[in-house]
Structure 1
Amino acid sequence: MTPRLHEDWRSVPPEARGAVAALGNFDGVHLGHAHLVRTVQLARPDAPLAVVTFEPHPRELFRPQDPPFRLTLPDERAAALGALGVQHIFQIPFGEAFSQMRADRFVEDVLHNALGLRHVACGHDFAFGHRRGGDVPFLTERAAELGFGFTVAEALTDANGPYSSTRIRRLLQDGYPERAAVELGRPWSIRGVVQHGDKRGRLLGFPTANVALGRHIEPARGVYACMVRLSNGHTYYGVANIGRRPTINDGQESRLEVHLFDFSGDLYGQTISVALHALLRAEKRFENLDALKGQITKDAEEARALLADRESV
């Protein structure tokens, strides 16, 4: 399912009103988020299913000096929410003006009047409005006054505590994409447009598609076994490098370079999604390009074997 995206909360079409909605940032759309979506759906299974979220993430507005931290950007987030059955995404532009909106105005003007929600749900720590002036007790009271339903979803937990985007970021930065996949319910992916590079991969016999990390969090630098989904829906196994390529000393910011197995064609300008399955080795500087080429050959063989084994399970 592809959810319908609504980015102007002031002009929501009539057919999108009357939904039930989960509230939050939904960075990563992990199992805890899926639990929240199911909670609101069960409250009113007869109503359209929606989420109310924000773009950019409020942290990006209030702490612009922070390094990139996003697990999912809007397109990837929408795809993950669609897989949960979400029909409408109310993606509210989060700028300086909106950040000044009082909590009572957010509930009445946005949730009730503009979106016409029948029922909403959020986690116990959800806070909203100017200076986070609104919280769960406040929302409980205002929902009752305005006549729409409200549910506080219990946190989904495991032996390590509640599922959270913070936990998943830490796993990726520590080099454990397979553990992050368990908590996400799917492999973690970077989605972006293929850009022109310096063609060094082609000279080494391993042409690569280059994707800027942009606002995505940077996972552990190194070589990964991965699966690549093209814009036409076709998928390919591959081997990816994330890092600064110390062997050629390019001195640039970290980037994602992925070699697709058994693929030939031009990907420039296309949007691809690269799902990381396992970290094969950490980033390393080699003595020369021949040594690097030899290692890439081994990396590709290892990635093929690992992914084939997983497919057969």
Structure 2
Amino acid sequence: MLHLRLITPADRTDDVVRLIEKTVGTTHLVVLPGAARNPAGDVVMCDVAREAGDELIGGLRELELDKTGSIAVEDIDLSLSKRADKAEAEAPGEGADAVLWEHLADASHEESTLSVTYVALLAVATMLAACGVMLDNAILIVGAMAVGPEFGPLAGISTALVRRVPHLVWRSLWALLAGFAVAMVLTAGFSWLLDSLGLFEKSMVEAPRPNTAFIWKPDWMSFVVAFLAGIAGTLSLTSAKSGALIGVAISVTTVPAAANAAVALSYTDYSQMWGSTWQLLANLGGIVLAGTLTLLLQKWFWAKQRVHSTAG
């Protein structure tokens, strides 16, 4: 269940209440006239089944409540109510399958910002992966994958493509490309520093490294794994099961590929550099394609659910 707290102008409250009452899957409606001070207006609260949440939020935005008042949405961890159970039973579909497009757009927009924290995390992850590839240490590679924040912009690109918002596509793409560029430059500098300290050496790059050689030897399986990870990651975001994102992070080699490309460049090993670059691009492309197709399928599925619900 979702809990909505709305601030409505007094002349819009009746319209808002009517919308809530006619939306299947809502309950626990509360109206507090004149309770809001900033902005001034009435406070309206209700609970809604997750599977009906997107329809209700969309209707509230059509009433321009996001411009004239406020729409706040939060998850309810526990609700002991027969009315809530009835509302969930009446709503079409299953809550675990529901997509809250406004929440997804907001979350992906926030994660797609080229912030200092985002770049710092990506740079640290890439440096950690550089240590992993130089030492041929799979544990360090996995750790670097888990730290990398690159799935946010990738999800942002997919979401913006499905919602047809070109400027958000470019925003996410800029965060992705600029973030990796800065991280790789810093990692190349990090590699030179460790070389001067005697911790890295060229022979480590030229060594066989059986545990991590796949990073600069891309094949179709690299794309397949990235595609499957993109599906899993998108489903975890849309269903609010964020725990699955860790599994997604450690199943693709975006950060390790960027790290190996940076290290190889620092030692002028252009063969490994280009191989790692293609690995990186294959992973990024696979995730974006999978995320976009998954969102399109979910959008189609919920459109069908609404048609069946209306017909019933």
**Common fold by TM > 0.5:** no
Q: Which has the higher helix share?
A: 2
Q: Which has the higher strand share?
A: 1
Q: Computing the radius of gyration over CA atoms, which structure comes out larger, 1 or 2?
A: 2
TM-score when normalising by structure 1: 0.29
TM-score when normalising by structure 2: 0.29
